[in-house]
Amino acid sequence: MTASRQIKFGFLLAGCGQGYDDWRHPDAVADGSINIAHYRHLARVAEAGKFDFLFVADSLFVTERSSPHYLNRFEPLTILSALAGATTHIGLVGTATSSYTEPYTVARQFASLDHISGGRAGWNVVTSWLSGTAANYGKAEHLQHDERYRRAAEHLNVVQGLWDSYEDDAFPRDREAGVFLDPAKQHALNHKGEFFSVRGPLNIGRSPQGRPVIFQAGASAEGRDFAARHAEALFVEAGSLEATAAYAEDIQRRAAAFGRAPGSVGLYPGLRTVVAPTREEAQRKYREAVGLLRIDEALKQLGVPFDNYDFSQHPLDEPFPELGPAAYGSSRSTAERITRFARDNRLTLRETALRAAGPREEFIGDPVQVADAIQRWFDSGAIAGFNFVEALPRQIDAFVELVIPILQQRGIYKREYGAGTLRGHLGLAVPENRYTAARRGGAAA
């Protein structure tokens, strides 16, 4: 393997497709979001392509208007635990909210997944932006944006503290001496904070990775600070390479201000491709897929990040109506990105609705074109890799078959797994247990 910097890939598992009408595609697995055989297939294809991790997104609130994939899908920790046994190397990153969970439970389930998978677990920390979630969790009011992030920081701090409940050598399991646990190496956390009071210790030992990898996706000011301070890998949907690079620079500056070493946080923009053996076939596949979209549904989905704004009151074939910050609502950064996307490309409302969630033009084409675009992004130095999202059914298969070999030939992507853990794939060190560090006189984490 070459010593040059290597690109990383994650793969978002979204059974029947993320878009509202994706399931209607003739090649879609319409029940894919609840079909274990389909998930096993997707996971194995990604592993055959030496992907670094699988990623399962999440939400906790649906209505009859929700996108099909969100309505009826596996829960992240259970599906990732199931996929641990169907794979051997690929990382397993699951989403869990800090707003409606207890740290003790989250710490345990991710530590358990890390043990089950031999060190492949990652936690994507989210704060749940859909205000309807509160009503499913007995809360009258959704937490305000800044309160959500304060709670998230404390929640994560408690979880990471619980993951250090046992030092690496806490369990001598000495049969003759009758010593299973060395009690000096078991630590209660005794946390008391604004949101949580947790004594500990956890009831599971330190996991193979020391701590599962922390993923995040934060685009607001609070979100960026949270990510810059805590995340080891960061999903980003900033739009163009230029916008992504600017975002990356901002994140790395913030991370440095928090005292983190350069490269402590890797950025993973979403990657949606339509790749086919020829450029013409790729363009045709994309046009066919867009032809399946219903403009009324696309308008409703477009409205979601704008607090369900009703875009149907505007003319379809005139420029995208800019609503201004007041209308951006609870998913401000997504609404801002779409607005910028429409403005930069001078799109009509119809074009914006049909293309907002689709692939960028540069990622539609033949294998070399797509590989070139990927390399251009990667060579900018702004990103660690991509999080692959299927824009069409079977794009993961096409990508692994057609694009991955080109990246391998170019020496910017591994031919074999070099490590068995997610930290290993991402080049992240195993954090030292805070108590072990304190004992040997180092700084506690």
Interface residues with its own copies (CB under 8 A) are 21, 23-24, 26, 30-31, 34, 36, 40, 59-62, 64, 66, 68, 70-75, 77-79, 81-82, 84-86, 100-102, 104-105, 108-109, 111-113, 115-116, 118, 132, 135-138, 140, 166, 171, 173, 175, 178, 180-181, 183, 186, 196-201, 203-205, 294, 297
Residue whose CB is less far from its own copies, 122 or 223: 122
Q: Tell the smallest beta-carbon distance from residue 87 to its own copies (Å).
A: 10
Residue whose CB is less far from its own copies, 83 or 407: 83
Residue whose CB is less far from its own copies, 173 or 346: 173
∠ CA 25-27-33, nearest 5°, is 80
CA 171 to chain centre: 34
Work out the widest C-alpha separation in the chain, in whole angstroms: 81
Q: Tell the smallest beta-carbon distance from residue 85 to its own copies (Å).
A: 4
- Residue 228: count of CB within 10 angstroms of its CB: 23
Spatial CA neighbour of 131 closest among 147, 116, 150: 147
Q: Tell the smallest beta-carbon distance from residue 62 to its own copies (Å).
A: 5
CB 153 within 8 A of CB 161: no
∠ CA 280-284-285, nearest 5°, is 120
Q: Tell the smallest beta-carbon distance from residue 249 to its own copies (Å).
A: 37
Q: Tell the smallest beta-carbon distance from residue 56 to its own copies (Å).
A: 11
Residue whose CB is less far from its own copies, 5 or 139: 139
Q: Tell the smallest beta-carbon distance from residue 328 to its own copies (Å).
A: 25
Residue whose CB is less far from its own copies, 109 or 339: 109
Residue whose CB is less far from its own copies, 82 or 323: 82
* Residue given tokens 């055989």 in the structure block: 37
Residue whose CB is less far from its own copies, 254 or 285: 285
Spatial CA neighbour of 304 closest among 234, 347, 350, 357: 357
CB 84 within 8 A of CB 116: yes
Q: Tell the smallest beta-carbon distance from residue 117 to its own copies (Å).
A: 8
Q: Which residues contact 3 (CB under 8 A, 6 or more apart)?
A: none
Residue whose CB is less far from its own copies, 301 or 333: 301
CB 27 within 8 A of CB 289: no
Q: Tell the smallest beta-carbon distance from residue 135 to its own copies (Å).
A: 4
Q: What amino acid occupies position 377?
A: W
Query: Which whole-number Å values give the CA distances from 361 to 156, 276, 289, 364, in the listed order?
Result: 38, 14, 14, 5
Residue whose CB is less far from its own copies, 297 or 362: 297
Q: Tell the smallest beta-carbon distance from residue 102 to its own copies (Å).
A: 6
Q: In angstroms, rounded to a whole number, what is the distance separating the alpha carbons of residues 330 and 219?
A: 12
Q: Tell the smallest beta-carbon distance from residue 80 to its own copies (Å).
A: 8
Polymer length in residues for the chain: 445
Q: In angstroms, rounded to a whole number, what is the distance separating the alpha carbons of residues 188 and 285?
A: 57
Q: Tell the smallest beta-carbon distance from residue 137 to its own copies (Å).
A: 6
> In 174-331, which residue ranges form alpha helices assigned H by DSSP?
221-230, 241-257, 279-291, 295-303
Q: Which residues contact 203 (CB under 8 A, 6 or more apart)?
A: 108
Q: In angstroms, rounded to a whole number, what is the distance separating the alpha carbons of residues 273 and 275?
A: 6
Residue whose CB is less far from its own copies, 73 or 414: 73
Burial of 335 (0-12, 13-18, 19+ CB in 10 A): buried
∠ CA 115-211-12, nearest 5°, is 80
